[in-house]
Every structure is written in structure tokens, then in C-alpha cells.
Structure 1
Amino acid sequence: MQRSLISFIFIFFLLYACRANQPSSLPNIVFIVVDDLGYSDVGYMKQKSKIHTPNIDLLVKEGMVFTDAYASAPVCSPTRASLTTGKYPATLKLTCHIPGMGMEKYLNKLNKGKKLKEAYFLDHLPTEEVTFAEVLKEHGYVTGYIGKWHLGGEGSIYTKDGIVNSAYHPDKQGFDVNIGGCAYGQPKKYFDPYQNGTIQDRKEGEYLTDRLGDEAVNFIERNKQKTFFLNLATYTVHTPLAAPKENVDKYNGNKYFAMIEKLDQNVGKVMAKLKELDLLKNTMVVFYSDNGGLWGNPPLKGKKGTLYEGGIRVPMVVNYYGKIEPGSSCHVPVTSVDFFPTFIELAGFSVSNYPQVEGQSLLPLFYQKGHFPDRAIYWHFPHHRKEGLSMGAAIREGDWKLIKEFETEELFLFNLPQDLGEKINLSAKYPAKSRELLRKLEKWQQKVNAEMPEVNETFNTNDAIELCGEINVPLK
């Protein structure tokens, strides 16, 4: 009897071990989130002739490009919080980038001479928020975060290593592995030694983008027999602009173009590893940027920090061999809140278990079948920027986009298919459409209890005259 029991236990563990060494039937997910990469800062857009991104272009050739993909904010932290939780930044109370200089210094600087003060916002992602990593980990995924987090507290530039409060790091939000994720919104250095407490220095002079690419490849290699979710969040192409000399020389001193080349090389490195391990057929790869670019986004108007298209429309490509039609494109507007339900549904779990999620699963668009609902998407950005129209809120529904500027209460209405560059404000020509969209926008703001800017008591007449001269509107 005892011998039979021992034999049974031995066979059971043998079968379990064999099963454990077999690749899972659940899909792997690789989510590449680039920092500050503009809509036209990729080769396939053919807007900047000196930009060459053959590996990213190959993703387009073998997958689906989204022409109307948006970030949920024109700056980084809100978008990153939004895509991780499936909630809009206004709902999370995290609508602005978390200031490296510290909250008090930031607000004093940005509010000076302004009619309205910036609205309240959090300086971290609360740990009680449910992230897609926590859900996937709960269902058997190995989860890895490699790169920029920027959701872990304010005042990072005054730290020696980017750690303000480690309780808010990725490993406390469902990620088994965290390499690089701390409070930094930009790297203190792009070359080793990195002065980042979540990256162990390895070789002096090593380039950060290459290092994060190596870590991504190592994560895939270590977990090739498991089901994994990898979030590769490059610090590239955020300032300070820096790249290896040979790359900079190749572009006649243009560090930005050199950084994009290094980004592309490391995207290629990740894809090559997936191919080498025969994982491509069971891995969805998503390439995305967290907000508009800083260095011009033709044919769009504006750049990072604005509610014009150049601040919020971003490159996005999805690759899933055998599931997504190669060389296809989608023109349906999508945004950051859609990633949480997409990844959860892709893994075979019910999004209905997470009623807090405000996005829609994109799988019907990926597979070009099933129903994807008509809807509006929203932005709430009660913060000042010098780059153009900011301090406001926006809605896009169908072809139409409305922006409301908070200080002047001016409305801007655009028909995007007809005027992608947002050159003609149609609010006076189509007042009924403006009122309709404004009602929807304000109803949504009320629903999510959006934080609103307040009157700046230090604002005076001289400031008002200067302000009106800057934005070319009459003083009200």
C-alpha cells in the first residue's frame, strides 16, 4: 500500500513537472511604451525623411497601425496611470506629470501670472488602484516592468537615486520584476552609472536604452516556458537628449534622431528574441507612446503639453501573428483607458469583473470582427503649459473634436478628417454642435468629479494685460 502511494505521488509530480515545462496556451503580452515619441517620429509616417525605424516599420508591415490613437493626457504620468488602471486621469485625480522639482515649487512657478491656479492632483498612483499587472499576475502571468514608471512621488531630482517612496514602485502594483521604475520622469543620466536605485550599474558608459532592451530580452528568455506580461517603458526619447557618439555622428549631431535609432534597434532586439524562441505566434506586441512629441508633429498642430492633436495623438502599432491582418490599419479613435480591458480580455478573463474600468476592449478592432461601440473620448488637463492650448478639457466624438480653454472659456471646434491640422475653428459656424459636445464634456466631468482650477488670488491687472497679449483674446 505504501509503495503504491509513493508511486502515485511520484507519477503525479512527474506529470506536473512536464506540464510546467510546456509553453502556456494563454497569450504572452509585450507592451512597449515609449516616452515623448511624436506622432510623426517614426519612419512609416514618412513625415521626417531623416528618421529611419526599420524595426518599428516592420511591426506595421506585419501588424495593424492605428492612425487615431491617443494618449489620455498631453504629458506622461497621467497617461501611464490611465493605461495601467483603465481609468481616466480625471477619475484618478492624477491629471498632470508628477513634478521632479517638487509640488510646491512646481505650482508656484506654473501659477505665477495666471488667472487660474492649477487644479489639485496626486503625486503618486495609489496602491489601492487595481492594475492590469495585478489582474494578470493573479491569473498566472509572470509580470515584468522595465523602464520609466514616474508614478512614485514628487521631488525626484533632489534624490540621489530617483527613489522617493518605494511603496509606490511597480513591484507594489503587481509586477514581479521592476528594473528602472521609480519616481524619475527622466533619467538623471543616459549612461552608466545611471544613479537609479532600481537599476544595478553594470558597465561604465553603457547606454540606458540598450540596457533596458537587454533586460527585456533577459526577461523573455527566463520566462519562455511560462506565460508573461512584459511592460517595456523606455526612458527614450525624453530629454536630456543623449545617445552614443557613433549614432549622433551618423545623424550629423542630431541627438534626437540618434535616440530614435537606438529605440528602434532595441525594439528589433525584443522582436528577434521572440522569433528566436518561436513565441511570436503566441505573443501580442503593442507599440505606443505616452504623449505627443516635443520636436514637431507634422501634419498635426502643437506638441507635448497641448490639447491640440500634436500633444495627444500618438503612434500605435499592434502585432499578433496569425491573429491580426498584416499591413492593416484602423482609423477608430482609441485611447489609454482601453489597454486594461484589452489585455484582460485577451488573457481570457471577464472585464465585467472590473466595473471601475472606463475603456473598451480593442480586440474587435484588432480582429476586425465583433462590435466596437460608438463613443466619445475625453481629456481633462487643468494645468498650464507654454506650448500652446492647454489649461482646458476636450472631447472627441466621431469626426468632431471640441476643446474648452478654462481661463478664457473659449471653445475650439474642429472637424478632424477635413482639418487634421486644426487650422479652422468652427465653433461659431456650428454652434449647435459646439453646445452638444460641450454638454457631453461637462456631464462627463461631473460624473468623474473632475478637479477644477480655482481663481488665482495673486492675479492682477498687469498680469491680465500680459496674459491677453500672449493668447490674443479680449480681456473678460
Structure 2
Amino acid sequence: MKRSPRSTFLLFFVLTSIVAINAAAQSLAANNNNRPAEAKPNIIVYMVDDLGWNHISAKQATMGTTKEVYQTPTIEKIAAGGLSFTHAYAQPNCAPTRAAMLSGQYPARVNNNVYVVGHLNRFGGGGIKREAAHFKGPEQSEDVAPEAITVAEALKQNGYATAHIGKFHVGGHRGEATMPENVGFDINLGGFSQGHQPTCFASKKTGEWKFKGVGLGHFDRYAAPYDNAYLSKRGLPKSLLDTPKHISDALGDAMQDTVKELADGDKPFYLQFHTYAVHGPVRARPDLKQAAIDRIGDANKKMAEYVGFIAGVDENMARILATLEDPDGDGNPDDSIAANTLILFTSDNGGTHADNQPLRGEKGMLTEGGIRVPLIAYWPGVIPAGTVTDHKVHSVDYYPTYLELAGKEWVPPSDQHPLDGESFADVLRNPNTQRPRNTVFYLFPGYMDKRAEPAVSAIADIDGQRYKLMYVYETDSWELYCLSDDQGETKNLIKTRPEIASTISKQMDAWLNQKHPTWQPKYPIDKQTGKPAGPPKSL
């Protein structure tokens, strides 16, 4: 049948309208640079310093063990809208964790020879005395080697812009070559060899407000006292007017400016937001401290400082979410990049300012309280909301995960820079995956006051149960715990489950004796022979 001109026009109008609607929908689904919502996501890793596994109020992430004293509503929000990992592991203290995340390698690799902060002969503090020790710790580095291919360098090869804000700690000891700006970061605010903030509040020196000794002065631009405009914009109480700025707020200011700059660019971005909180000195913003006192009483002002400090961590998470929704801050969310941004929230080691119960131990120890950390992944529309997984994750796993999310257009040569971790990108998209993560290993060849002495440890899944095996050099003894039903590590099963111990010890032996030119594990040095003790004999 021949169409009339009017019907032809109507058909054309309908078809062009459909095309326009589809184009608009695609535009709404795009992020900065008009990239599809799942293509090369922006990645923000928000890592807190010294935050204990259950020192947040997100029950999913802490297996319900969090205490009421901790109130982190925004972190609860991302847990409700994302994926909580109940068994995420870091190294036992901050520098080796940061080195592992930066390099994707265990400390036993020559490019990542970072086992501890400082050196491996840190005696004292109520631990074993130097003269009584059978071993001495070997030499180590405090920086990831200049020859390493960092995660920032690898992501740049995959088309990313890169930025670091806050504590770095694993560069600058060797000079400029290991500074963040020389190992792949386009933007560096605060990162060098510094391990903690000397002060939490700005002070006025020679007529200018500064954070004395913090971050090479990078945050001084944000050091002015709280004024009415700032308080109004952030909805903070008037009691803060004209009081000194807190370092956590300054880092949040830097984060907002940096995300705006990155979102204006034509590349996906990788941002390390590594705050100084909650490392000591533990000082909370006055209103947050007072809120903690109002809730828990004023009998323990030290705890109120810590709880208030954590509340500041939560505020910065809220600022991240708001900035992603409106990067330029003009109130119009048309520039939102939230749909194409993965946020990972974690800590660099176990807690040290309050107990980690029911986990045993604290920062610096190879017990669960020293190495298990919170990990929540948030990516609306991609990660199923309110999900939980007991899939093991270790600090070395972030690097390969980022590469997979970036499309793996370029990966480090395995002969030059092998990666020790395993990607968990599939778990982000499908938290119910039953793919097991291989055994996680630890080698600590020295001494750290009362908290650590030479040891090797492994966390393995066998027959549906999760076990931890540990060998202690000083006593030439083994310990075995079933973490599935004894996460407090109270029952040593070494005598009752010898077959499990034997299986894991063989895995440990194979790990320590692997052959690769970059694999150069350090062992405690026997004082009598002057030679490295070597790996323990498998059971």
C-alpha cells in the first residue's frame, strides 16, 4: 500500500525520536570521556592507616563483630550497596602493605624488599631481648625498588591517569627515584618517605597557616581555619568557626580538587587516597570528639579521640561519594562519574589503638588481629548490592585486579616483574563465585619489639575449611588453627590435625623455594653460624 506524505513524515518522526531517545540514554550511561559504564572504570582505593578490621559499623564486613562505639554511617551505606570481603588480608604493618599494593609482589621479591617499617632488628618493648635472640634480622629496604614496575606505571600503559594523595611511605628513602611522581603518578600530594602525620591540626607560623611537617607542605593550601563559607558548604557546626583545620578535612579538600581535575580529563583515572588517619597522634576534630563523648561518656577521652578520628574517615567517604556525583561541585549532577567508578575501602594493617576482638593480636603481628583488614567494594550497577564473600584477598591482589578491569592491554613482563597476586575482578561482579583463592603466604625474617619475631605463615583452604599454619624460628615450633570455627586462634591443632599441617607446610616449602631471578627471600641470620636459617623443613 502506498503511504501518504503525512504517514511517511510520521514514520520518519517516530524513527528519529527513537534514535534520539536511545542516544540520550547512552549519553546518560556514559561517564567522563563518554566511556561506557563498565569500560575501564575509574578506580579509587581509599586506604586508612591502622584501622582495625571491625572498627567500623558495617556489620556485613565485620561478620557482625563491630562494637556500638564505632559509628560509620557512610561506610555502612557502601556496604549495603556493595560487596564486603570478610577475609581480606594485609601485611602486618604499613610499609610492607603499601609496597605489596604498589608492586603486586610479596617482600621476598628483589623489587619489593620491604618487610617492616625501619629495620628488622627492632628489639625492646617487652619482647625478646636482643642478647637472648638466636637470630638477627637481615638487611632490607624501605622503598619499592626503582626498577619495579609499579601499579601506577602499569595502569598508565593501559591508558589511565594516576594520582596519589596522602601517606606513601615506600619512596623517598633512596632519593628522588622512588618518589611517587617518578614511579608512575601524574599527581602527588603528600607522598614521600613519611610514615605518619606529626600533627593533626594546622598552626600559624610566620603569618601563614600550615600543617607543620606534613606531606612536604602539599596540604598547606588547605590549612586556613574554618570559615563560614566552608562550614556552610559542608554542613559543619558553627562551633568550628575560626578554629584550626584538621588534617583529615585538608585531605578531603585535596581529594575533591583532584577528582575534579581527573574527571575533566580524557582518560579513566586511578587514585590512591591514602589518609594519615587513624595513625597516631590520634586527635579528632573537636565536634567529632564531643559527639563521641556524648555517646560513650567522658571517662575515656583517649577512646573518644579515636572514635572521633574514625568519624572523620567516614566523612571523607561521604565526600568521595558526593564528589563522584558532582565533580565540579556546581550542584548539577550531569557531570557525574559515579556509574563508572569503583571504590575500594580498606586498611593497611590491623588495629593498634583499640582491641580487635574477637581477633587475636594487633598491628605488627601475624595473628588475625594484625593482618585481617576491612575491605568493601562499591560500584553501583556492577557490584551486587549488600553482598558478602569470604573469598580471601591479599594486598598483592589489587594490582592484577586493576589490570583486569583495565582490559589488560599491557601487563608487566613476567621475567622482569612477575605478579604474586590473583585478580578478584570476577568476584566483584559475581560475589557468589566458588573459585577458591590459592594459599596466602607470609615471611617475616626479623624482630619487631614484642609483636613479632622470625616466622613463616600460610592461610590455606582445605576441604571447605580455612586454616592458618605458622612456623616460629626462635622455638622451632609449629602452630595450626582452623579459622573457620576459631577465628580467635585459641586452639592449636598441630598435634590433632597433622595431615592438614603437612599439606600446608609443603605448600609453604614450594613457595619459599620457587625459582625465579626476582625471587630472593630473606631469612633470619643464625647468630652461631652467621648464615641465613633458610626455610623451615616441611612436616
For residue 121 of structure 1, the aligned residue among 125, 131, 140 is 140
Q: How does the TM-score come out when normalised to structure 2?
A: 0.75
For residue 255 of structure 2, the aligned residue among 216, 222, 244 is 216
Aligned CA-pair RMSD? 2.5
Structure 2 partner of 1:441: 508
CA–CA distance in structure 2, aligned partners of residues 222 and 456 of structure 1: 55
Structure 1 partner of 2:53: 39
Cα displacement (A) at 1:61: 0.5
CA–CA distance in structure 2, aligned partners of residues 354 and 34 of structure 1: 31
CA–CA distance in structure 1, aligned partners of residues 350 and 385 of structure 2: 26
Q: Do structure 1's residue 310 and structure 2's residue 369 form an aligned pair?
A: yes
Structure 1 partner of 2:229: none
Structure 2 partner of 1:15: none
Cα displacement (A) at 1:111: 7.0
Cα displacement (A) at 1:209: 1.2
Whether contact under 8 Å (1:337, 1:360) holds in the other structure is: yes
Cα displacement (A) at 1:374: 4.3
Q: Deviations along 1:324-362, whole A, 9 cap, x unmatched?
A: 100001111110111001001101115765430111110
Q: Do structure 1's residue 383 and structure 2's residue 446 form an aligned pair?
A: yes
Pairwise mapping of residues 29-428 of structure 1 onto structure 2 (< 5 A)?
Answer: 29-44=43-58, 45=62, 46-71=65-90, 73-91=91-109, 92-99=111-118, 103=119, 112-113=130-131, 114-153=133-172, 165-192=175-202, 193-194=210-211, 195-196=213-214, 197-202=216-221, 203-204=223-224, 205-226=244-265, 227-252=268-293, 253=301, 254-276=304-326, 277-294=335-352, 295-350=354-409, 353-355=412-414, 356-368=418-430, 372-388=435-451, 390-398=453-461, 399-428=466-495
Structure 2 partner of 1:5: none
Whether contact under 8 Å (1:303, 1:310) holds in the other structure is: yes
Cα displacement (A) at 1:115: 2.2
Cα displacement (A) at 1:431: 1.7
One-letter amino acid matched to 1:165: G
Q: Deviations along 1:417-439, whole A, 9 cap, x unmatched?
A: 11111000000111222122122
CA–CA distance in structure 2, aligned partners of residues 206 and 133 of structure 1: 31
CA–CA distance in structure 2, aligned partners of residues 104 and 96 of structure 1: 8
3-state SS of the aligned residue for 1:251? Answer: helix
| Aligned residue pairs, count | 428
Cα displacement (A) at 1:249: 2.4
CA–CA distance in structure 1, aligned partners of residues 144 and 406 of structure 2: 24
3-state SS of the aligned residue for 2:47? Answer: strand
CA–CA distance in structure 1, aligned partners of residues 499 and 529 of structure 2: 37
3-state SS of the aligned residue for 2:381? Answer: coil
CA–CA distance in structure 1, aligned partners of residues 494 and 169 of structure 2: 37
| Structure ID, larger Rg | 2
Structure 2 partner of 1:455: 526
Cα displacement (A) at 1:387: 4.8
CA–CA distance in structure 2, aligned partners of residues 107 and 174 of structure 1: 36
CA–CA distance in structure 1, aligned partners of residues 440 and 179 of structure 2: 29
One-letter amino acid matched to 2:423: S
Change (3 A) 1:353 1:168: closer
Whether contact under 8 Å (2:219, 2:250) holds in the other structure is: no
Q: Deviations along 1:236-287, whole A, 9 cap, x unmatched?
A: 1111111222222222222111110001101110111112242111001111
Cα displacement (A) at 1:165: 2.7
One-letter amino acid matched to 1:300: L
CA–CA distance in structure 2, aligned partners of residues 382 and 329 of structure 1: 34
One-letter amino acid matched to 1:176: D
Whether contact under 8 Å (2:93, 2:117) holds in the other structure is: no
3-state SS of the aligned residue for 1:67? Answer: strand
One-letter amino acid matched to 1:358: D
3-state SS of the aligned residue for 1:432? Answer: helix
Gaps of 5+ in 2: 1-29, 203-209, 225-243, 294-300, 327-334, 531-539
CA–CA distance in structure 2, aligned partners of residues 350 and 379 of structure 1: 31
One-letter amino acid matched to 1:396: I
CA–CA distance in structure 1, aligned partners of residues 379 and 247 of structure 2: 28
Q: Identity of aligned pairs, percent?
A: 30
Change (3 A) 1:331 1:370: closer
CA–CA distance in structure 2, aligned partners of residues 374 and 238 of structure 1: 30
Cα displacement (A) at 1:20: 12
3-state SS of the aligned residue for 2:476? Answer: coil
Gaps of 5+ in 1: 1-18, 155-163, 460-476
